[in-house]
Every structure is written in structure tokens, then in C-alpha cells.
């Protein structure tokens, strides 16, 4: 199924809006140009929802989440940038593992199962794409979901 990734991301941003407001976090999408990808809209929506949930959950009051879509080197990219606590380098290689959580003790105060990122990664791979996470402790996180463009679309 051909999906406009910008439209899908816009819909998910709207879905998390009240959750973000409760935590005094601003979530915005700055792209409006449609980018067509081939995929399963339910799987992709779930993946994006998990990523946005993380960007809000590991953020702080007054923080921001910026979402944009773009095309680069024949691929469509969804980028989610947050101003949250970031992820220390030692944890980055493990984030695609199921049930992996950075702070096991904090698991009790900030709810989560450690599945969000692994689901997003599996979904990206199933669509012939990739999930790339760039972060440093205390410096926010940028997650990029890369998907192949649909031939004949632009």
C-alpha cells in the first residue's frame, strides 16, 4: 500500500498532542510536502507512535519534540528530534533488543516495556528501511526512520 509518510506522521503527532500537553512538551511537525512510501500503515503508525511516545516520555517539562520528513539519496526519512535526557553511548548498540531498558530502576517510575524501539526497528527493517539513533547523555535524541521511496513517485 502506498502511504504518504508526512500525512501519517502528522496524524500521529495529533494523536500524542494531549499526552504532550499534560507534560508541558511541545510537539510539532515542520514538513508538509508529501513523501510516498510503500508499506503497512498500521505497522508504520505503531512504530512512529512508539518513537513519539519515547520522545515525550524521556523529555522534561518545557521540552520540545520536532518531527520532519525529507528525502535524501533516494530514501524518505522521518526524523524525530527531542530535547530530552539523551542516551549514553554504552546503551546505543542495545536499543534494538527486545525488553532492553537503559535504567532498570527507573522502569518503575517511567513506565515502559523496552519494546518500543525494537518494534520500530523491526518495522523499519520489514519495510526495507533502517532505524538510526543519534544521542548523547543529557543532549537530547534524534531518531531517523529511513524508508525506500516508491518508484514512480517523488
Q: Give the residues lining the site for ligand ATP (CB under 6 A).
A: 50, 53-55, 58, 82, 84-87, 95, 100-103, 112-118, 141
* Contact present, 35 and 4 (Cβ < 8 Å): yes
Task: Name, in order, each residue with C-beta under 8 angstroms of 133's C-beta and a sequence gap of 6 or more.
Answer: 87, 92, 95, 117, 141, 142, 143, 144
Q: Which is nearer to ligand ATP, 2 or 42 (CB)?
A: 42
> Angle, to 10 degrees, between the axis of helix 5-22 and the axis of helix 41-57?
30
Shortest separation between residue 15's beta carbon and ligand ATP, angstroms:
15
Backbone angles phi, psi at 50, to 5 degrees: -65, -40
Q: Which is nearer to ligand ATP, 4 or 120 (CB)?
A: 120
* Contact present, 64 and 23 (Cβ < 8 Å): no
* Contact present, 118 and 96 (Cβ < 8 Å): yes
Closest CA to 81 of 145, 125, 34: 145
Q: Which is nearer to ligand ATP, 3 or 119 (CB)?
A: 119
Shortest separation between residue 120's beta carbon and ligand ATP, angstroms:
8
Shortest separation between residue 69's beta carbon and ligand ATP, angstroms:
18
Shortest separation between residue 93's beta carbon and ligand ATP, angstroms:
12
Q: Which is nearer to ligand ATP, 80 or 147 (CB)?
A: 80
Q: Which is nearer to ligand ATP, 41 or 114 (CB)?
A: 114
Shortest separation between residue 62's beta carbon and ligand ATP, angstroms:
16
Amino acid at each position: 500500500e502506498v502511504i504518504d509518510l508526512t500525512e501519517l506522521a502528522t496524524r500521529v503527532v495529533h494523536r500524542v498532542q494531549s499526552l504532550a500537553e499534560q507534560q508541558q512538551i511541545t510537539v510539532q511537525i515542520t514538513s508538509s510536502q508529501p513523501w510516498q512510501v510503500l508499506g503497512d500503515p498500521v505497522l508504520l503508525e505503531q512504530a512512529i507512535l512508539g518513537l513519539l511516545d519515547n520522545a515525550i516520555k524521556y523529555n522534561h517539562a518545557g521540552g520540545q519534540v520536532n518531527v520532519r520528513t525529507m528525502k535524501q539519496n533516494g530514501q524518505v526519512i522521518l526524523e524525530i528530534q527531542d530535547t530530552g535526557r539523551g542516551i549514553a553511548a554504552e546503551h546505543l548498540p542495545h536499543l534494538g533488543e527486545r525488553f532492553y531498558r537503559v535504567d532498570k530502576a527507573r522502569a518503575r517510575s517511567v513506565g515502559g516495556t523496552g519494546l518500543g524501539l525494537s518494534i520500530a526497528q523491526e518495522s523499519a527493517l520489514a519495510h526495507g528501511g533502517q532505524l538510526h539513533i543519534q544521542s548523547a547523555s543529557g543532549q537530547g535524541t534524534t531518531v531517523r526512520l529511513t524508508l525506500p521511496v516508491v518508484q514512480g513517485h517523488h
